[in-house]
Structure 1
C-alpha cells in the first residue's frame, strides 16, 4: 500500500516544495504539472486563510504559518507510514526498514556492529544508513527523512527528542608497535613529536585539537589531512602516523588491524558528546523503537 492513498495531495505537494525550494523543482519530483502544484498550494492557503510561502527570486521560503504546517505535515506523513505498515502486516519487529543518519566515525565502526547483531535476532529488518555531517543529521531527523540520527555535540533543537546523550572523549590511535603504544594515556605535547594525521577543520575533533594546541602554545603541522575517518585510521594502521578518533568508534576497531588507542589527557579532548536523536512527538514503529533500545544500550561503555 502506498502512503499517497492516506496522505492528502496538497500536503504531499506542500512538503515537496519545502524540500526542493521551488514549485518547478517540486513538480519534477512529483511528476505533475507545475500548475497542478500551484493550485494545491493555493487551495491550502485559501482554506487556512494564511500565506504559507514567501516568494523570492531565489526560491520559496516558508512563512511562520508555513513552518507550523510543515512540522504538522512531516509528522502526519510519518504516522501515515507507520499505520500503513501496521495495516499491511509489516509492523512489529518481523519486517520493516530502519532509516538512519550518522556522522562517519559512528557509521564506520559502531553501527555495523550494532546492526549486524540486531539482524541476528530479526532477519526481516532492513537498514538504510546515510553518512553526513552532524548538522545534516539533525536536519534529516527534523524533516522526518530518517528515523534515528547520531550526531556529535549538536546545538539544541526544539523538534528533536534526545533519546540518549553520552560523553565522547577523543583518543589517539596508532599502530601497536608505536613507541607510545605502551603508555596508559598521552598528551598533545607528547603527540607533537610524531607524525599526525588529522581530520579536516570543520570537524569537532579538529576544532577541539586546535583549541587545546592554541591554549598550550603548541604548533603541530599534520602530515596528512582527510575528511574520511576510515582513511585516517588505515593510515595509522599502516604505521604512517597517529590519528585521533572518538572513543565510541575506538571500541569497535578491528583487533586484526594491530591498533592501539590511548586516552588524551588534555581537558579539551574530552569535550564532545554523542546524541541519539528522533523527531519530537513522533510515535516510532515497533521495529525502529526496538532497534533504538539496542543502539542506546550499545553506547554504554560497559556494553562495548
Structure 2
C-alpha cells in the first residue's frame, strides 16, 4: 500500500469521479484507475461500485477512507515537522475561531504575530463555537478559539482546552436610553426591555437566555439577527437593547454611539475565551509561538 495510491483513493472518493480526480491530481484517468486497481488487488476488496458513469464507495471503501485520511494528515504533519528543521520559521497555521472572536479579538493578535513571523502562512476558518470544535477534532485546523460558560476542563476527550481569560458580556444601550447615565445595571432591571438578540444556537444567544432565565426575568426578544454588527446598528437606532461582548462594542462606546453597562447579579459563571487543540497533534514551532502570543 503506497501513499500515492491512498492519495488517489481519497481524491476519487472525495470527487466521486475518476475523471475529476485525475484532473485534480494532474494525472491521466487510466493512471488513476490503475492505482485504484492495484490497491484493490493488494487489499483483496472492491473499494468502489462502478454504476454506469457514476461510482460510489463500497463498505470496504468507507472503512478505508477514514484510515486513509488519517494517514494523509499524519503524513502532512511529518512533512511539516521536517520542513521546519530545514526552513526555520517557515510553515502554516490553520486557525478556527468563533465569528465574534475572529472579528473583535483576533485582528490585533494576528497583526502582532505577522510582524514577528512574516514567513508563516495563516489560514482562518470561522463559524459557531460548536463548528470550530468539530474542525479541531477532525484535524482541519490546528487550533480553535471559542467561547464557553465557566472555565473549561483541561482535558475533554481528544481535546485539550484552556481559558485565555474572561469574555465579559455587557448591556449595550443607545445614549438616549433611560439607563445610559449609569455604569452598572442588575439583571432584574432588564424586565420589560425590548431585547435584540443573536439567532438561536449561537453561544451569545444561549448565554443571554440562561442569564435571564436563571434570574427569573422575562424579556421580550423583539428582533433576532445573525450579526453582532447589525445588532449594534439597531441599538444605535434606538430599536432596543442587547447583551453583547464588551470588546465588540468598544469602538462605539469610545465614539459615544453606544453605552456599555456592567451586568450585576448574574447567577451564572462568566463567559471565557477558550483555546482548543488536539492532545495528539504535533505542535509545530509556529504553533508554539502562536500559543505564546495568546497567553501574553
Which interval holds the TM-score relative to the shorter structure? 0.7 to 0.9
Q: Partners of 2:100 and 2:285 in 1: how far apart?
A: 27
Residue 116 of structure 2 aligns with which residue?
Answer: 121
Change (3 A) 1:296 1:250: farther
SS in 1 for 2:220: coil
| Matches for 1:84-99 after TM superposition, within 5 Å | 84-87=83-86, 89=87, 91-92=88-89, 95-99=90-94
Aligned counterpart, 1:77: 76
Task: Name whichever structure is richer in strand by fraction.
Answer: 2
Note closer, same or farther for the CA distance 1:159–1:35 as it changes in structure 2 (3 Å cut).
Answer: farther
1:171–1:246 Cα contact (<8 Å) kept: yes
CA offsets, 1:244-267, max 9 Å, x none? 2345x4586565343424235332
CA RMSD of the aligned region, Å?
Answer: 4.0
Gaps of 5+ in 1: 1-6, 298-304
TM score, norm. by length of structure 1: 0.72
1:1-304 to structure 2, matched below 5 A, reads 8-16=3-11, 20=14, 22-23=16-17, 29-30=24-25, 32=27, 37=32, 40=35, 43-44=38-39, 47=42, 60=57, 66-87=65-86, 89=87, 91-92=88-89, 95-153=90-148, 158-164=157-163, 168=167, 170-175=169-174, 178-181=177-180, 182-187=182-187, 189-214=188-213, 218-246=217-245, 249-250=247-248, 253=251, 256-258=254-256, 259=258, 260-263=260-263, 265-268=265-268, 270=269, 272-297=271-296
Distance 2:12 2:265 in 1: 49
Return 97-106 or 228-237, whichever deviates more: 228-237
Work out the number of aligned pairs and report it.
283
Where does structure 2 lack aligned partners over 5 or more consecutive residues? Answer: none
Distance 1:34-1:242 versus aligned 2 partners, 3 A rule: farther
